[in-house]
Chains A and B, each alone.
Chain A
Amino acid sequence: MARIVVENAVKRFGDFMAVNDVSLTVDDQEFVVLLGPSGCGKTTLLRAIAGLGIVDSGRILIGSRDVTYLPPRDRAISMVFQSYAIFPHMKVFDNIAFGLKMQKAPKSLIKERVQRAAELLHIENLLERYPGQMSGGQRQRVAVARAIAVEAQVLLMDEPLSNLDALLRLEMRAELKSLLATLNATTIYVTHDQIEAMSMGDRIAVMNSGRILQYDHPTRVYDQPLEQFVGGFIGNPPMNFLQARVVENGAAAQIGDFRLSVPPEMVVPLRSYDGAEVLLGIRAENMEALSQPASDALQVSVKVVEPLGSQNLLTIPVGTELIKVATHPDFESAPGQDLWIRFPARKIRWMDRKTGRAISPSVEAMQAALAS
């Protein structure tokens, strides 16, 4: 059992708060992704869990053991580094065997484990080579093989795919995911690539400015961001945010001349914003573009059309902002053309304009809606 618990971790570099009172629980054998822009503290947090940087305050538990101040070698962890950190003066075999040799494992076991790790990563034929003669993709495989050969219960990965070119990254992503699923290790994976996070993680912890903003399953993080930052960071294109004025005592929202009715569960929470502006967050693929006028649709004019093959991406000015709307590739549109956009009420995330936080729906109204 290797549950990882981080309690109120704080790490400062001078005046800079790299990790600001972070608490995180990773369940046994779970795959958690720490996602965020560079400088958000994700790598610092991972290094604190690895023991490569000690937290200023807070606790870190692996299994049920407090490892806060233990050196890395006493934490029973394994790690893949961003630069791979393969030992250039050792053959691939000795690189993969390094952790086992340090544990003074018997020779036969070392041989067997190295062989198996190499087979899993398809590098059996490279075992007698030196890293200097290998490509980036091959080194990456050696780094992963070295990490899994020790069969630690905790596997930490620091942007392992970021140094690969795009095509190789796509290939390794799926391979790594299927490989890690067979390992039964608790995995923490750091990345700034939201697609990697979405596609691999059981749960994603979205970080910014040293804090975890949201920690949830990928689809929940994608569909129901808790903060404007999360919606804007995850998704390509990012979530659109429109300014809307709450009117009719919370029952409707006004965008320019267009009036949008608010779903029942949001009426009560939005009542306190009556007459004020809120943010209306909606993803590009959740809006419906119509070529004919409709009473429940906002009239707009197309600025840019980007055919992306699987969809057409439209850039449309609304008020002072530009929003992105994804349409079916067969939907015909041209710059300057008038369109009508429909906003499905259930796909909208309502956000407080000042705090950037999502306004939560009223639970009673949701239950009532479900019951009826």
Chain B
Amino acid sequence: MATLSTRPRLAELPPEQRRAIWGRRIRRGTVYALATLIALWILAPIWLVATMAFSTPGDVRSYPKQFAPVPFSTETMEFFIEAEGIVDSTLNSIAVAIITMVLATVIATPAGYAISRYLFVGRDAVRLGILSVRAFPIVILAVPLAIIFIDLGMYDSIYSLALLHTALVLPTSVLVIASVFATVSYELEEAAKVFGCTPAEAFFRVVLPLALPGIAASGIFAFVTSWNEVFAAVLLTLTNRTLPAQILFSLDKSGDPFKFAGAFFMLVPSMIFIFFIRRYLFNMWGQVSK
């Protein structure tokens, strides 16, 4: 608000007013400074990784590191993509992530709807149960599951990994989707029923279309979570590695260009997806969106 035109008048103001204005400027400045600092903390590594991924392998190995990809080169990325197992594991990762996304959405949509709309016996217990799955470390889930999958002959399969990933993302998916349904006014559903809909028709014609963007966001979240998950992937697969498992497997055998290119390759889907779903994540955390 302090534009040039108001500045001369500031001096004419009584001291009490001047102090108040300065106090507000300092507070606002502090908030912006802190926000900038936090943003840099997150963005600097990403920038470094991206810079390295598009520099020549020679530049990547040299010190000190450069701050911009000059000269620009796709050689490092090409080297990474052509490395052994990367294409196969990428395809595996995509398959696992898509199965996880579909399963999680199909299960979480009715669950989220029930939690947001109906007062049923044991609703709070169900909510707590859903959250408590989150409380178990993935180690506790993955090791017994590996044994069970071996017994069932499902070990080293991308489908069993997708099942575990679905279990991992479900709590969050259910809560996100429940919060999305909560934003769709119940009166809309009642209006649909008054004007001739069965409860199912009211859901599919009115509630679902309105909740669809949020449900899609939750699906994307499931995709990204599965894409990034490494621990269970390493534990449950041997030959059918997903991308993070493959990268982890070859990490100690490869040089800096491979690592930076791999890091960038892993990063991109998450960055894109987070950009699209950020509004719904804010919603879930009870902040005012927009």
Cβ of A71 within 8 Å of any chain B Cβ, yes or no, is yes
In the complex the two chains form, is A102's CB within 8 Å of B194's CB? no
The one of B191, B198, B209 that contacts A81, using a Cβ cutoff of 8 Å: B191
In the complex the two chains form, is B191's CB within 8 Å of A103's CB? no
How many angstroms from the CA of A52 to the CA of B185 in the assembled complex? 15
CB interface residues, A 43-78, toward B, < 8 Å? 50-52, 71-73, 77-78
The one of A50, A51, A87, A103 that contacts B206, using a Cβ cutoff of 8 Å: A87
How many angstroms from the CA of A52 to the CA of B192 in the assembled complex? 11
| B4 → A minimal CB distance (Å) | 37
Q: What residues of B have a CB within 8 angstroms of the CB of A85 in the complex?
A: 185, 187-188, 190-191
| B275 → A minimal CB distance (Å) | 24
In the complex the two chains form, is B210's CB within 8 Å of A79's CB? no
In the complex the two chains form, is A79's CB within 8 Å of B194's CB? yes
Cβ of A354 within 8 Å of any chain B Cβ, yes or no, is no
Cβ of B196 within 8 Å of any chain A Cβ, yes or no, is yes
Cβ of B195 within 8 Å of any chain A Cβ, yes or no, is yes
In the complex the two chains form, is A78's CB within 8 Å of B195's CB? yes
For A, the interface residue count at a CB cutoff of 8 angstroms equals: 23
Cβ of A98 within 8 Å of any chain B Cβ, yes or no, is yes
Identify the closest chain B residue to A103 (Cβ).
B196
In the complex the two chains form, is B195's CB within 8 Å of A99's CB? yes
How many angstroms from the CA of A63 to the CA of B25 in the assembled complex? 69
Q: What residues of A have a CB within 8 angstroms of the CB of B195 in the complex?
A: 73, 78, 98-99, 102, 146, 150
Q: Which of B190, B193, B195, B209 has the most C-beta atoms of chain A within 10 angstroms of its own C-beta? A: B195
Cβ of B197 within 8 Å of any chain A Cβ, yes or no, is yes
Q: What residues of B have a CB within 8 angstroms of the CB of A83 in the complex?
A: 185, 187
Q: What residues of A have a CB within 8 angstroms of the CB of B196 in the complex?
A: 73, 98-99, 102-103
The one of B185, B193, B210 that contacts A73, using a Cβ cutoff of 8 Å: B193
The one of A51, A81, A89, A150 that contacts B187, using a Cβ cutoff of 8 Å: A81
How many angstroms from the CA of A72 to the CA of B197 in the assembled complex? 9
In the complex the two chains form, is B193's CB within 8 Å of A52's CB? yes
CB interface residues, B 174-215, toward A, < 8 Å? 185, 187-188, 190-198, 201, 206, 209-210
Q: What residues of B have a CB within 8 angstroms of the CB of A98 in the complex?
A: 192, 195-196
Q: What residues of A have a CB within 8 angstroms of the CB of B197 in the complex?
A: 73, 102
In the complex the two chains form, is A79's CB within 8 Å of B198's CB? no
| B117 → A minimal CB distance (Å) | 14
The one of B188, B190, B206, B209 that contacts A52, using a Cβ cutoff of 8 Å: B190
| A84 → B minimal CB distance (Å) | 8
Q: What residues of A have a CB within 8 angstroms of the CB of B201 in the complex?
A: 102
| A288 → B minimal CB distance (Å) | 49
How many angstroms from the CA of A78 to the CA of B187 in the assembled complex? 14
Q: Which of A51, A52, A86, A150 has the most C-beta atoms of chain B within 10 angstroms of its own C-beta? A: A52
Q: What residues of A have a CB within 8 angstroms of the CB of B188 in the complex?
A: 85, 87-88
Identify the closest chain A residue to B191 (Cβ).
A85
In the complex the two chains form, is B191's CB within 8 Å of A79's CB? yes
In the complex the two chains form, is B210's CB within 8 Å of A50's CB? no
How many angstroms from the CA of A72 to the CA of B187 in the assembled complex? 13
Identify the closest chain A residue to B199 (Cβ).
A71
CB interface residues, A 95-118, toward B, < 8 Å? 98-99, 102-103
Q: What residues of A have a CB within 8 angstroms of the CB of B193 in the complex?
A: 51-52, 71-73
Identify the closest chain B residue to A71 (Cβ).
B193
Q: What residues of B have a CB within 8 angstroms of the CB of A99 in the complex?
A: 195-196
Q: Which 6 A-B pairs have the closest CB atoms?
A: A102-B196, A99-B195, A85-B191, A85-B187, A72-B194, A79-B194
B interface residues (Cβ-Cβ under 8 A, vs A): 185, 187-188, 190-198, 201, 206, 209-210
- 9 pairs from A and B in contact (CB 8 Å cutoff): A51-B193, A73-B194, A78-B194, A79-B191, A81-B187, A98-B192, A102-B196, A102-B201, A103-B196
